[in-house]
Every structure is written in structure tokens, then in C-alpha cells.
Amino acid sequence: LTGTSREQRAFQYVLAHAIPGDPHHILQTFDQWCYHCEHLSCVGPDKGRIVERVLLEQAPLRVLELGTYCGYGTVLLAQGLPPGARLYTIEGDPRHAAVAEKVIRLAGFSEQTVELIVGPSEEVIPRLREKHGMMNANLVFMDHWKRCYLRDLRLLESHQLLAEGATILADNVLFPGAPHFLQYAKTCGKYHCKVHRASLEY
């Protein structure tokens, strides 16, 4: 009835209630909205703790996120980066990207730290090195269309965009599920696999 999307309504709430430049408070405000107002497919605090733990353990200097959505995961990743690190995030939907851009900048992250790239992942990934200067990623966070997980992992491999010892963190592989991706990761011999049990967003 308002003519605005759920994502825009969530951003208006964040804008009204969150502390600008405070990534943690911005995520908490998103969580409040999602728990009490409308559901959004954000990572959420439960799985967010897994992401934070991986960031702390790995201290990656180059991070790639597939599926920016509203920027929740982007802010979560960016706040855990070590000094001098850079995050590249890809969003295929221009409307979601417009919201995410505002969320990322509201959280206080500049384009030097977080670069938001708008376009289909299968088109953006082959251009990451040449056009965006990403030599390879130490950590990849997959949270876009599950049917694209395997295709995009193969693209990252074929374009040598994974650093030695890189970590691939893929959300919702059991439900809604990415069975082909999971089978490949477990059987191709290139990866050690671990499944983290968690709730589905909120």
C-alpha cells in the first residue's frame, strides 16, 4: 500500500533508529525490524556469529560476497575485516543494490573498504581481476541464488580467483538447499568440508 518495498521500509527504520557509523548497532536495528516487523532474508545474528568467528580465525585481506541483498551481510563482513582489507560484494538486483549502498555507507564504510558491484554474478566474476583489481579472494561468502553456487564456484576456480587456502562460506546449503554445490565440494578433492548447523535467518 505504501508503494515501497520491504527492503526500503527496513532501511527507513534503520535510518530512523540506528546510530550512523556504528556497524554493530545497524545490524542490531535490522534484527529488531526482522524479529518484530517484517521478515527479510538477511543472515541474522545466529549465523552471523559463525561468520564473525571465521573472520576472526582467517583475518582475510580480500573478501568476496555473492549476494549483497540489503547490505546486512556486507556490514557484518566489513566490520570484521583486518586493517587494510578490502571487500567486494556483488548484487544482481539494482533495487536491492540501491538500498545496500545506503546501508553500507551509513555504517561508515568507504568505497576503498567496500566496493559494491551491480550485475549478474556470472558476468561480474570473469571481470573481477581486470575491471575491479581483485587478484584473488581469501574468503568467499555465498548468499545469493542457491542454484548459482556451483556455477559461480567453478567460475572462481577457472579464473584463478581463489587464493591458496581460501575459505568458501556458503549459506543455506541444506535448506532451501544447494545439493549439486554440496556434492561437488565434498567429492572434487579440492576442499575440506564442514557443515555448520544453524537456524534459518530469524
List active site positions.
Answer: 143, 146, 171-172, 201
For 29-66, give one letter per residue: b (16+ CB within 10 A) or e: bbbebbeeeeebbbbbbebbeebeebbeebebebbbbb
Half-sphere exposure of 135 (CA within 13 A, CB side): 4
Q: Read out DSSP for 41-93?
A: ---HHHHHHHHHHHHHHH--SEEEEE--TTSHHHHHHHHTPPTT-EEEEEES-
